[in-house]
Structure 1
Amino acid sequence: MINYIIRRVLQTIPIILGVAFIVLVLFTRVGEDPVRMKLGNHATPEAIEELRAKWDLDKPLGTQYLIFLKQIATFDYGESFNSGEQLSEMFANGAYASLLLTVPPFFGGILINLSIAVLIAFYRGSWIDRYSTALFVAGMSISYMVYIMFFQYFFAYELGWFPINGFESGLGAIPYLILPWIITLIVNAGPQIRLFRTVFLDETKADYVRTAFAKGCSPPRVMFVHIMRNAMIPILTYTVIEIPNLILGAFLIERFFSIPGTGDILISGINNGDFPIIKGLTVLIAISFTICNMITDILYAYVDPRVQLEG
């Protein structure tokens, strides 16, 4: 196991190096000139050169690449081109807000939707299965934006049960997050339950299920013990791969509820042409996905003994 972990960590290094190089080239050689975007088309050559030197954009590409790698290793991405704030502090504060927004409904929703999917799969072919499938398909057909606008208008504006926007640190954030949590739970319910139901139904066709029934195991025991354990690999894959998105936040929710998460920071950076923000968050997302892929492979061994990591 240790050898496998070391090998996977070493394999991530070329991926991160490649992503960093591609991101640097895209934002310094292909995209618009950030100096021109900051100063405008009527800036003097002296002002342009001074700002270009301040942002290290006058250096060769290789030197800029080494500077970028140092920023990644030290988590010090410099300053925002527009506000002058330290990006490390901005990212940390944004990640804190995004995690408060996304983690509770994600993991709570996983447990709730997993339980519902098991129940539906257990009663497959019944009226419970048919009506629930129709309900979740209908829910998936409604736009995310529609949920946000309806819940904000009805529960926040008309009934006044929740604040419509804002954010505070600590426990003071809960009143501002309840409505976004509810919206996230409802939006994620349909896709997750349909995915989990499909996984469980695929497992019911396996040979070990027939063997378990032949040995006299009851249907609940087969479903909740044998099938549940073997169905965990695709469920683990889905869960762990989604973790980087929790850090990235929910763009629409953060934007419409004025929550200062990383998603809102990224959108603002794109709108303002703030390339350090875009570069930093792009690399952080790539690193997060790479690490989560590695964690997924390691967890496979604990769920399915047939997986041989040392081979």
Structure 2
Amino acid sequence: MLAYILRRLLYALPILIGVNLLTFALFFVVNTPDDMARLQLGVKHVTPEAIQKWKAERGYDRPLFWNPAAGGLQQLSDTIFFDKSARMFVGDFGQAEDGRDIAREITSRMGPSLAIALPTFVLGLFVTISLALILAFFRATALDFWGVVACVGLMSISSLFYIIGGQYLVAKVWQLVPISGFGEGLDAWRFLVLPVLIGVVGGIGSSTRWYRTIFLEEVGKDYVRTARAKGLPETLVFFRHILKNAMIPILTGVVVVIPLLFMGSLLTESFFGIPGLGSYTIDAINAQDFAVVRSMVFIGSVLYIAGLILTDISYTLVDPRIRFE
């Protein structure tokens, strides 16, 4: 098992390096430092001196990959790639346009993002799997039919509708919770109730329908007929056999999402004024802060690769037939 994990990590390293190179090419080859300077200073009436000054202040006046003017290892280290991309592998993300340390900002904003994402993830998973089991248990009945209709209807509604409608109804009309903002300590729960509730409701339609399909595929398999032939009640067949065997396809989608919870929700955090990583990314895009955007893209790729590795490892917990040599 340990050898398998190490092998997967070695496989992931070239992928991560490739993503880093691709991201660097998009930011510094396709969109050159001169283009960045013009976007920040204004496209019209920008002098070459102002562009050179802007680049020198941010370290963009050096060569991209190779610096022939330097000596020794500095030919590689005294470059934009080493300073802006290679250092990300050790957690050095540099500074944003406003001078703040990006790594410190990410660390401080991770808490609010997790405060929304984790309850939404856990509660949503419990609700959707439970509803899917109920629909699969009462398959081919009126409850199943109208349940699927409701799921399709929920899937067809934009997430913006849930956010704006929830803010208007729960926060403005009923005045049960604040409409936006964030609090410190235990006071933060008042600001988290509505985003979590909207996140759960918004994901019920697609997730319940998907889990129901997985359960229905398991219902017709031989091991289910064998369990029924032994005289096991239908509820025991569902919870002991079908649910357990359906965990592999469920884990494929669930475990991959877990690392991405750290990235926060772009829409939810922006509309509710939550100072998390999602709103941090949106603000960086609006401000054309390329350093922050590059950092968030890199962190997202690292977390996604970590999710894939966790998915492979989690398979052994639900299926003892899987062994890695």
2:24, 2:85 within 8 Å by CA — same for their partners in 1? Answer: no
1:168 maps to which residue? Answer: 183
**What's the offset of the Cα at 1:292?**
0.6
- Matching residue's letter, 2:143: I
**1:9 is aligned to 2:9:** yes
Matches within 5 A, 1:28-107: 28-31=28-31, 33-40=35-42, 41-62=44-65, 63-81=79-97, 83-107=98-122
2:194 maps to which residue? Answer: 179
**What's the offset of the Cα at 1:93?**
2.1
Structure 2 residue corresponding to 1:259, chosen from 241, 250, 274: 274
Please say which of residues 278-287 and 101-110 is displaced more in the overlay.
101-110
**What's the offset of the Cα at 1:69?**
4.4
**What's the offset of the Cα at 1:94?**
2.2
Structure 2 residue corresponding to 1:215, chosen from 227, 230, 252: 230
Q: Which runs of 5+ in 1 are unaligned?
A: none
Return the TM-score normalized by structure 1: 0.95
Query: d(CA) in 1 for partners of 2:25 and 2:57?
Result: 19
**What's the offset of the Cα at 1:43?**
4.1
1:20, 1:68 within 8 Å by CA — same for their partners in 2? Answer: no
**1:19 is aligned to 2:19:** yes
Structure with more relative contact order (C-alpha pairs < 8 Å, separation 6 or more): 1
Q: Which runs of 5+ in 2 are unaligned?
A: 66-78
- Matching residue's letter, 1:3: A
Structure 2 residue corresponding to 1:295, chosen from 310, 315, 324: 310
Matches within 5 A, 1:127-206: 127-206=142-221
Return the TM-score normalized by structure 2: 0.91
**What's the offset of the Cα at 1:24?**
0.8
Show CA shifts across 1:225-282 (max 9, x none). 0111110011111111112432222221111111111111111111111101110000
- Matching residue's letter, 2:7: R
2:259, 2:306 within 8 Å by CA — same for their partners in 1? Answer: no
- Matching residue's letter, 2:312: D
2:256, 2:310 within 8 Å by CA — same for their partners in 1? Answer: no
The percentage of counterpart residues that share the same residue type is 38
- Secondary structure at the aligned position of 1:61 is classed as coil
**What's the offset of the Cα at 1:54?**
2.7
Query: d(CA) in 2 for partners of 1:16 and 1:153?
Result: 43
Query: d(CA) in 2 for partners of 1:31 and 1:268?
Result: 20
- Matching residue's letter, 1:151: G
Show CA shifts across 1:139-162 (max 9, x none). 111111111111111211122111
**What's the offset of the Cα at 1:50?**
2.9
Query: d(CA) in 2 for partners of 1:6 and 1:252?
Result: 36
1:229, 1:303 within 8 Å by CA — same for their partners in 2? Answer: yes
1:34, 1:274 within 8 Å by CA — same for their partners in 2? Answer: no
1:248, 1:263 within 8 Å by CA — same for their partners in 2? Answer: yes
1:284 maps to which residue? Answer: 299
What is the root-mean-square deviation in Å for CA atoms of aligned residues? 1.5
